[in-house]
Structure 1
Amino acid sequence: MDITLTSADSHEFTAYINGPDTARVGVVVLPEIFGINAYIRSVVDRYAALGYRAICPSLFDRRTTPEHGVQLGYRPEDVQRGLGYKKSIADETAQLDIEAAADALKGQQVRLLTGYCWGGYLSWRMACLSSHFAAASCWHGGGIIKHCNDVAKIPVQMHFGGQDGSIPLSDVEAIRAAQPNVQIHIYPEAGHSFGREATPAYRPEAAQLAWDRTLTFFQQQQS
C-alpha cells in the first residue's frame, strides 16, 4: 500500500510498502529513474512474498512542483522526464528520504538496501554515507564510477551487465580494482536493466542468478 512519510527536513513524500509488520528483516528498495512504477512495486512485492518487510520511497516527490508517487513508463519522453527529475535531486537530499523509509521499518531488527539503475547508484552512495543499513546490493548502478574510491560502512554487492551500453566494462573493472572487498558480479550476455521483466531489456537467466545471489548475500548479513 502507499503511505506518506516525513523526512528529517519535514518533506512529505509517498512510499510503497508491503510485507508483514512482524518480519525480522526489512528491505529498502530504491527505484530506477521511472519512479515507483509497476516494476519497482513488483520488486517490493517479491521481497514481501519471501517474508521481508519492504518499502520503496518516491524520491521524485522532491521536485519543485511535486506529483506524489510519480510512476513513469519507458517511452523516450519518460526517459527524458526521469533524467531531468534525477538531475534536480542531490544524493544527500535523496538520503533524507531513503533514511526516512528505513525508519518506517520500525519493527525490523535488520534493515537492508537494494536498488536499480539510479537506485543502484544511490545504494552505493548510502552504503558510504548512511548508518541505517546492514548491507546493500546494487543492480546496474550507473555513476558508481564517480565515487568508486569512497569507503563503504557496510558489506556491498554489485551486479552489472556485460553488454550494458551505459556502464562500460572498463568502469566495472575500475570499481573492482578500487573496491576489492565488494562482491562484483558481471552477467556477460545482459545489458542495462536486465532484471526488468516484461521489457526488451529482460534477461531471465541473468536476472534469476542476480536475484539468488542477492538473497544469499542478504541472508549472510542477517546474523
Structure 2
Amino acid sequence: MGAMTSLTAADGHRLAAYVTEPKGAPKGGVVVIQEIFGVNGHIKSVADGFAADGYYAVAPALFDRVQPNVDLGYSPDDIAKGKDIRGKMVWDSVLQDCAVALALASKAGRVGTTGYCFGGGVTWKMATSLAGVAASVGYYGGPWGELKAEAPKAPCLLHFGALDKMIPTSLADEMKALHPSITTHVYDADHGFNCDQRATYNATAAVIARRRTLAFFEALL
C-alpha cells in the first residue's frame, strides 16, 4: 500500500499524488494517469499492482487544479461530475503536473506511463511532449481522436475495446497508419474494461492487456 504526498509543478501549483513503492529495488518508474474519476480507489489499486510487480508508481491528482481531492465512483452523477471537471482542464497545465510526477518516478530509473480513458490520452500527450518518457501505454484513450496527429517520441502501446462506442476501433487503424511504430491491440470488450469496479469490466481482456503492458515495460524500462 502506498500513501498520498504533495508535488509542486514548475508554475508553483501544488498537487497531490499517490505514491507506492516495491518491496525490493525498483525495476523503474511508472506514472499512472487517472480516468475522469480522480485518483480514486481503483487508480490506487492499479498503482499498487505496478508496485507489486517491481515498479515505483506515482499517480498524480491532475484534477487538483480545478477541484482538489476528487475521488468519484462510476454512477451517472459521478460520470457527469468527472466530465465537467475534465472540460475545465488545460493541456499546458496537465503536462506541467505530469512532468513533476515523471521527475519523481525517475528516481527509480527509466519511466513508463500508463493511463485510462482521459488518462490514456494524457499518456499519449506525455509521449509526444515530455522528455524522459521511455514507454507509454494507453487504455481506451478518450482524447486520442484530437491528439492522433501528434507524433510520439517514445514507444507506445494502445489498448482498444471492440465494443467501445466512444473510441471506435477504426481509430486504431488511423493511429497505426499515422504512426507505424506504435503497437495496438483490440479486445472483445467495452470501454473501461480494465476497471473491476465498473459494469463493463472484462477480466479476460484486463488480464491479457496487463500482461502485454508489463512485457512492454519489461523490455523498455
- The TM-score, its normalising length taken from structure 2, stands at 0.95
Counterpart CA distance in 2 for 1:219 and 1:6 is: 29
* More off after superposition, 105-114 vs 178-187: 105-114
2:126 alignment partner in structure 1: 126
Alignment of 1:32-181 (within 5 A): 32-63=35-66, 66-67=67-68, 69-181=69-181
Is 1:211 aligned with 2:213? no
Aligned length: 218
Residue 107 of structure 1 deviates from its aligned partner by 2.5
Counterpart CA distance in 1 for 2:176 and 2:25 is: 37
Q: Deviations over 1:84-105 (max 9, x none)?
A: 1111111221011111111122
- Relative to structure 1, is the Cα distance of residues 24 and 208 closer, same or farther in structure 2, using a 3 angstrom cutoff? closer
Counterpart CA distance in 2 for 1:129 and 1:214 is: 21
Aligned-CA RMSD value: 1.3
Counterpart CA distance in 2 for 1:81 and 1:40 is: 17
Residue 106 of structure 1 deviates from its aligned partner by 4.9
Residue 171 of structure 1 deviates from its aligned partner by 2.1
The aligned amino acid for 1:218 is: F
Work out whether residues 24 and 107 of structure 1, in 8 Å CA contact, stay in contact via their aligned partners in 2: no
Partner SS, residue 119 of structure 2: helix
The aligned amino acid for 1:213 is: R
**Runs of 4+ with >6 A deviation:** none
The answer for unaligned runs of 5 or more in structure 2 is none
1:220 alignment partner in structure 2: 219
The aligned amino acid for 1:171 is: L
Percentage of pairs with the same residue? 36
- Relative to structure 1, is the Cα distance of residues 190 and 106 closer, same or farther in structure 2, using a 3 angstrom cutoff? closer
1:7 alignment partner in structure 2: 9
The aligned amino acid for 1:61 is: D
Counterpart CA distance in 2 for 1:54 and 1:170 is: 32
Partner SS, residue 204 of structure 2: helix
Q: Deviations over 1:158-211 (max 9, x none)?
A: 000000010112222212221211000000x20101010132111011110000
Counterpart CA distance in 1 for 2:145 and 2:198 is: 26
- The TM-score, its normalising length taken from structure 1, stands at 0.94
Counterpart CA distance in 2 for 1:171 and 1:104 is: 32
Counterpart CA distance in 2 for 1:163 and 1:47 is: 27
Residue 76 of structure 1 deviates from its aligned partner by 1.1
The answer for unaligned runs of 5 or more in structure 1 is none
